[in-house]
Structure 1
Amino acid sequence: MQWRGRRQSNNVSDRRGSGGGGFPGGRGGGMRIPIRAGGGGGIGFLLIIGAMWLFFGINPLALLGMDDGGGQQQTSSTGPGIQGTPDETDDFIATVLADTEDVWNARFQAMGETYPEPTLVLFTNSVSSGCGFAGSATGPFYCPADQSLYLDLGFFRQLAQDLDAPGEFAQAYVIAHEVGHHVQNVTGILPRTQRVRQQMSQASANRVSVLTELQADCYAGIWAHDVGGLGYLEAGDIDEALNAASQIGDDRLQRRSQGEVVPDSFTHGTSEQRQTWFRRGYENGDMEACDTFEGQL
């Protein structure tokens, strides 16, 4: 992906080293992952559980309506002057976020609407969000309550080393997927899925969660379509995104972690489904082609 020397987003909040913090009153809390060591090498128990439940997804408290924000944490906004790491990851993230802003601002404007740009929060180890408290094992997530994306950059190392999904565009796919949840939120899809899931059995609620995640994959594909139209894609970029989508399919994660696949427990979709919907968004470039729900909401 050609990203150097281009606009970087101002909507990045750097909370790394702040210690995360918590919420007063004992409410919030996020999905609390058991602090238990993983066996042997590879991804380990902690990462697998986080990946299975919240990989690239929505904080479960938001879907359940338990999105109490509690106290606000002081943050420092960063933009073009964000301090880059040796491998320029910070600058890359700010540029990818800027690209999502350009893509969705243009698309919302074409619909006669205004796109409220989300904030991307960088954190280390743990963080307080409007949807509760989360640790790094949760994986990247989007919180509808504060319209923010949350990312511990250590996840990118895990993506490449433990999940066999290296490459800058694999990382860009992660960000674009979470932004896809933001698009769902501001268009009213997430609130509807929240209401519907509360009235369902767990298995049925999981199926709605899968449809929600697949649509976010499709929206990530739309972003890739528009970025490609601007000439920023390079050979192999789409393959990196498709590989990442495959590596974090529920079936592959479950087979890796527990040796068997339990479809009723899927929350994000199979490897094939995730690839299919990303590819559909990329090839069609049409939001209507991303209707995973097909009138079910």
Structure 2
Amino acid sequence: MIDFIQQYGPVTQALAATLFTWGVTAAGAALVFFTRTVNPKLMDCMLGFAAGVMIAASFWSLLAPGLEMAEQMGQIAWLTATIGFMGGGIFMRITDMVLPHLHLGMDLDHSEGIKTSWQRSTLLVLAITLHNIPEGLAVGVAFGAVAANLPSATIGGAVALAIGIGLQNFPEGAAVSLPLRREGLSRTKSFFMGQSSGVVEPIAGVIGAMFVVYMQEFLPYALCFAAGAMIFVVVEELIPESQRNEANIDIVTMATMGGFSVMMILDVALG
């Protein structure tokens, strides 16, 4: 499979990979055709698993290669990593402040970003869309890094990242479509809105790949930027949402560790 993927350019690879991750989001949203709800404990565990995957991906697939590339390029590695990592977090914080959205389980009066009269369903979709941006960007940057021919960037590692992001997108699709169905929307509309939260990933993926292909001197910063953006999402949203029910904290914590382990295995085995 790796040999087949290598036949194509980094932008095409990034597009294909992020179309896959979008497809998994749609698969999760498709649960709405079979049920109106998922056991809350199971949903919390799935969100915890997603958090673990993103934490592991942030380090193994983005931050560590970014540090290595910075050294190979003669940069001050820790400074490059810090600037890129914090830049990603600051970018997400600014986006979080501006983009209207509503986190899962919150009442409409707890919506964040610029205040609007948009419906609750739209705000829920935008909340998931918000953290799909760094996921798509991360995949695109990873494939773009391979084109730089640096030893720390491998096609296997980029594929592992895409698979990991895809795995954690499944509960995100369900987390949007199922609440919308319970609020009275039709199955078709709930599915459409649930999967639409992933449409930003191919866009961000292509932008990320093109950026590093044409501006390779910024590649270490871009990798660390994507890592910082993903960690912001995990700490600000996924972990709090997965541990909202105190009775589930222990099992959700183990699910988070399981997600980290799965992503670590994927990255080490394929990378």
TM-score of the two chains, using structure 1 as the length reference: 0.26
Compare the two structures and name the one with the higher strand fraction: 1
Whose helix fraction is larger, Structure 1's or Structure 2's?
A: 2
TM-score by length of 2: 0.28
